[in-house]
């Protein structure tokens, strides 16, 4: 029996285009269609002004996703790394408010839970020197970007806008989501384990937490393992019951000691 197509909508991390996920297509099974969700000011939306407010960007991305859902009926999953994870979570709530079908699952990667955000950390990251230093500290940016003045200018402008987006985020009181939440994390990422475990309160349908080798951009360092675990999440049966952690398949990642 042929499996129904499943759409995987991916939101980018700060400073990036959603096209960064296109390299995953060769690793995904045929029944999964990867669809990048592009924020304004980059990629196919380069001619549109950058947004610097979280709720404005979330509303824009909700509009983009709703148009996609109208064209592509059927089950889907949301994935986002870092800023993209926070946006993906917010999209779930906006979709619920708009009366749209929710994703089967939410997969957040390299992202502290909404209630554990520290927007003040980004306030000091202003100006080209500070932004460039932060890019180098976290890794994940090709050296060719730093060597090309025009490309670096574009990258820093997008990064600054995205940092202002994250800085403007405020976590209001929202009910937990009725869908499983899967959390991916890097063993060397400075995000505290407690800030990752706090995703548990954002769902009443179960959650998992998996660790991968690498820092904040472990999704590049451990690409095959990350995509392998993602496929396991996509193919998992819907969670039964509420509030319990879903069992984590024995693959790709090793949990940190408690």
CATH number at residue 221: 3.40.50.1820
Q: Which two tokens stand for residue 58?
A: 């979330």
In angstroms, how far is CA 231 from the centroid of its own chain?
A: 16
- 107 occurs within a structural domain: yes
Residue 215 lies in a domain: yes
Q: Cα separation of 77 and 107, whole Å? A: 8
Q: What values do phi and psi take at 222, rounded to 5? A: -120, 45
Nearest 10 degrees: CA dihedral of 43, 70, 226, 146? 10
Give the number of domains in the chain: 1
- pLDDT score recorded for residue 238: 54
Phi, psi of 10 (to 5 degrees): -120, 130
pTM of the shown model: 0.88
Residue 44 belongs to some domain of the structure: yes
Tokens 């999704």 sit at which residue? 219
Question: What are the C-alpha distances in Å from 235 to residues 64, 207, 230?
Answer: 25, 15, 9
160 lies in some domain: no
Number of neighbouring beta carbons within 10 Å of residue 94: 18
Residues in contact with 19: Cβ distance below 8 Å, sequence separation at least 6, in sequence order: 36, 38, 43
Would residue 224 count as lying in a domain?
A: yes
- Domain containing 11 equals 6-117+172-235
Q: Does a structural domain hold residue 253?
A: no
With respect to residue 161, please indicate whether it lies within any of the assigned structural domains: no
- Judge contact between 181 and 207, C-beta under 8 A: yes
pLDDT on residue 141: 78
Residue of 140, 223, 212, 163 lying closest to 183 (CA atoms): 212
| Mean pLDDT by groups of 10 residues along the chain of 258 residues | 76 96 97 97 96 98 96 93 98 96 97 90 78 79 82 91 94 94 97 97 97 95 97 75 33 32
**What does the pLDDT look like over 7-49, one tens digit per residue?**
999 999 999 999 999 999 999 999 999 999 999 999 999 999 9
Q: Which helix (H) or strand (E) holds 23?
A: none
* Domain assignment of residue 27, yes or no: yes
Token representation of residue 174? 């929202």
């Amino acid at each position: 029996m042929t499996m129904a197509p499943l759409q995987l909508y991916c939101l980018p991390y700060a400073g990036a285009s959603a096209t960064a996920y296109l390299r995953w297509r060769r690793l995904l099974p045929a029944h999964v269609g990867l669809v990048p969700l592009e924020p304004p000011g980059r990629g196919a939306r380069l001619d549109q002004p950058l947004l610097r407010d979280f709720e404005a960007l979330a509303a824009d991305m909700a509009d983009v996703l709703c148009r996609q859902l109208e064209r592509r009926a059927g089950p889907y999953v949301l994935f986002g790394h870092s800023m993209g994870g926070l946006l993906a979570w917010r999209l779930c709530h906006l979709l619920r408010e708009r009366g749209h079908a929710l994703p089967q699952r939410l997969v957040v990667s390299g992202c502290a839970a909404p209630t554990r955000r520290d927007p003040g950390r980004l306030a000091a990251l202003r100006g080209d020197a500070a932004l460039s230093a932060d890019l180098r500290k976290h890794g994940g940016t090709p050296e060719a970007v730093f060597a090309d003045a025009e490309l670096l200018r574009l990258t820093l402008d997008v990064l600054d806008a995205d940092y202002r987006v994250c800085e403007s985020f405020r976590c209001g009181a929202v009910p937990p989501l009725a869908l499983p939440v899967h959390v991916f994390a890097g063993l060397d990422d400075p995000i505290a384990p407690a800030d990752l475990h706090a995703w548990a309160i954002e769902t009443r349908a179960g959650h998992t937490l998996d660790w991968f080798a690498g820092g904040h951009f472990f999704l590049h360092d451990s690409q095959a393992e990350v995509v392998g675990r993602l496929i396991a999440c996509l193919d998992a049966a819907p969670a039964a019951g509420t509030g319990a952690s879903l069992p984590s398949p024995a693959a790709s990642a090793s949990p940190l000691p408690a």
